[in-house]
């Protein structure tokens, strides 16, 4: 992988893992990648501004880098929120703004136009689980574990898990078990209930298989992949009829792309297709 020499981040390490594939590695290894205030800000900048400004990115891998855990949750030592003031109403407004900024950091991952594949090892707790719930695909390795950890520090989870997790695993009962008790979900259980879609034997196998899979995504028409992600996200929040109408409008334009004959021609010739940048 080629590390980006001009990466502007301290808590994230970016590199070109394959052609058109960026790896974003959480980089607080001495803290098990616990999310600090700086990491919250850098996640937002990375996914909302930095990656969209890079040249021809078609897939992103989100990894735990060199840490023993993917993410241990929020860094409690670094602080949870701004200091309260004397006026309760004004303090509440400041706290609401702060929480919404944290939510936006993870929504930026979900809102990235290209797919994001989370590669999870070790603990994926609290904010880490919030983070991977915002990804398109979640893969893990043996020994990984997942927990809605906020209840153990006196909080209701407030940056995404309570909204996204029920849509991912489809069991309100299990979500309630996890949210009310912080009881960890094992790697096998996460695969069984659909939180993850692949379980690898080792971190090395996870990395190798995820790189190969990301390269497969990157080999497809970027227009088709971006359109698929956009319409999947829309369909999650809308009716079948509304979703069908939207994708019809989308493809009324995109059926005119040169990517379609390029894809068909490549299938006939056995040569990989070449697609223009978006």
CATH number for the domain including 129? 3.90.226.10
In this structure, the answer to whether residues 188 and 253 fall within a common structural domain is: no
In this structure, the answer to whether residues 156 and 145 fall within a common structural domain is: yes
What mean pLDDT comes out for the span 52-71? Answer: 96
120 lies in which domain range? Answer: 2-219
In this structure, the answer to whether residues 134 and 183 fall within a common structural domain is: yes
- pLDDT interval class at 76 (50, 70, 90): confident
The pLDDT of residue 79 is: 63
In this structure, the answer to whether residues 131 and 97 fall within a common structural domain is: yes
In this structure, the answer to whether residues 259 and 156 fall within a common structural domain is: no
In this structure, the answer to whether residues 215 and 227 fall within a common structural domain is: no
In the chain, alpha helices (H): 37-45, 88-111, 127-133, 161-169, 172-181, 187-193, 203-219, 222-237, 240-254, 259-269
In this structure, the answer to whether residues 116 and 203 fall within a common structural domain is: yes
Q: What is the CATH number of the domain that holds 257?
A: 1.10.12.10
Residue 3 has pLDDT above 60, yes or no: no
Q: Is residue 277 part of a domain?
A: no
Residue 5 has pLDDT above 60, yes or no: no
Contact criterion met (CB below 8 Å) for 109 and 135: yes
Q: Is residue 278 part of a domain?
A: no
In this structure, the answer to whether residues 239 and 211 fall within a common structural domain is: no
The pLDDT of residue 25 is: 96
SS3 at position 144: coil
The C-alpha atoms of residue 146 and residue 157 are separated, in whole angstroms, by: 14
In this structure, the answer to whether residues 20 and 123 fall within a common structural domain is: yes
What is the share, in percent, of the chain residues with pLDDT greater than 70?
96
Please count the structural domains in the chain: 2
Lowest mean pLDDT among 54-58, 86-90, 120-124, 242-246: 86-90
The C-alpha atoms of residue 141 and residue 153 are separated, in whole angstroms, by: 27
Instruction: Beginning with the edge strand found earlier in the chain, give each strand of the sheet holding 145-147 in spatial order.
Output: 123-125, 145-147, 185-186
In this structure, the answer to whether residues 164 and 247 fall within a common structural domain is: no
In this structure, the answer to whether residues 244 and 153 fall within a common structural domain is: no
Q: Is residue 64 part of a domain?
A: yes
Q: Is residue 276 part of a domain?
A: no
Residue 78 has pLDDT above 80, yes or no: no
CA atoms within 13 A on the CB side of 265: 9
The C-alpha atoms of residue 179 and residue 24 are separated, in whole angstroms, by: 28
Contact criterion met (CB below 8 Å) for 80 and 94: no
Rounded to 5 degrees, what angle do the CA atoms 89, 101, 124 make? 120
- Tens of pLDDT, residue by residue over 252-262, are 999 999 999 99
What mean pLDDT comes out for the span 194-214? Answer: 97
The β-bridge partners of 185 are 146
- pLDDT interval class at 6 (50, 70, 90): low
The pLDDT of residue 55 is: 86
Contact criterion met (CB below 8 Å) for 13 and 25: yes
Lowest mean pLDDT among 74-78, 212-216, 217-221, 241-245: 74-78
Q: Is residue 55 part of a domain?
A: yes
Contact criterion met (CB below 8 Å) for 133 and 160: yes
- pLDDT interval class at 266 (50, 70, 90): confident
The C-alpha atoms of residue 140 and residue 118 are separated, in whole angstroms, by: 8
Give the domain-ending residue among 180, 196, 219: 219
276 or 268, greater pLDDT:
276
The pLDDT of residue 64 is: 97
Q: Is residue 274 part of a domain?
A: no
In this structure, the answer to whether residues 132 and 245 fall within a common structural domain is: no
What mean pLDDT comes out for the span 138-152? Answer: 96
- Tens of pLDDT, residue by residue over 9-29, are 999 999 999 999 999 999 999
- pLDDT interval class at 268 (50, 70, 90): confident
The pLDDT of residue 108 is: 97
Count of other CB atoms within 10 angstroms of residue 52: 14
Count of other CB atoms within 10 angstroms of residue 210: 24
- Tens of pLDDT, residue by residue over 81-130, are 667 678 889 888 988 998 999 999 999 999 999 999 999 999 999 999 99
| Closest to 127 (Cα-Cα) out of 73, 194, 178, 199 | 73
Residue 4 has pLDDT above 80, yes or no: no
Cα dihedral 255→261→263→265 (10° resolution): 160
């Amino acid at each position: 992988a080629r590390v980006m020499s001009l990466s502007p981040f301290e808590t994230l390490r970016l590199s070109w893992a394959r052609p058109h594939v960026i790896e974003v590695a959480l980089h607080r290894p001495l803290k098990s990648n616990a999310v600090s205030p700086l990491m919250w800000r850098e996640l937002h900048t990375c996914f909302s501004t930095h990656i969209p400004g890079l040249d021809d990115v078609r897939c992103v891998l989100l990894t735990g880098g060199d840490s023993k855990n993917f993410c241990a949750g929020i860094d409690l030592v670094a602080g949870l929120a701004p200091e309260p003031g004397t006026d309760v109403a004004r303090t509440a407004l400041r706290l609401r703004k702060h929480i919404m900024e944290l939510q936006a950091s993870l929504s930026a991952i979900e809102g990235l136009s290209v797919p994001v594949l989370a590669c999870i090892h070790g603990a994926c707790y609290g904010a880490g689980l919030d983070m991977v719930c915002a990804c398109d695909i979640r893969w893990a390795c043996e020994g990984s574990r997942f927990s809605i950890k906020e209840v153990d520090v006196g909080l209701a989870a407030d940056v995404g898990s309570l909204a996204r997790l029920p849509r991912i695993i489809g069991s309100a009962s299990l979500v309630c078990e996890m949210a009310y008790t912080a009881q960890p979900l094992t790697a096998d259980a996460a695969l069984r209930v659909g939180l993850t879609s692949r379980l690898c034997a080792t971190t090395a196998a996870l990395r190798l298989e995820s790189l190969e899979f990301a390269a497969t995504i990157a080999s497809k028409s970027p227009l088709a992949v971006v359109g698929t992600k956009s319409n999947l996200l829309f369909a999650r929040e809308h009716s079948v009829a509304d979703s069908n109408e939207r994708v019809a409008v989308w493809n009324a334009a995109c059926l005119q792309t040169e990517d379609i004959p390029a894809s068909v021609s490549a299938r006939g010739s056995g040569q990989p297709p070449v697609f223009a940048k978006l």
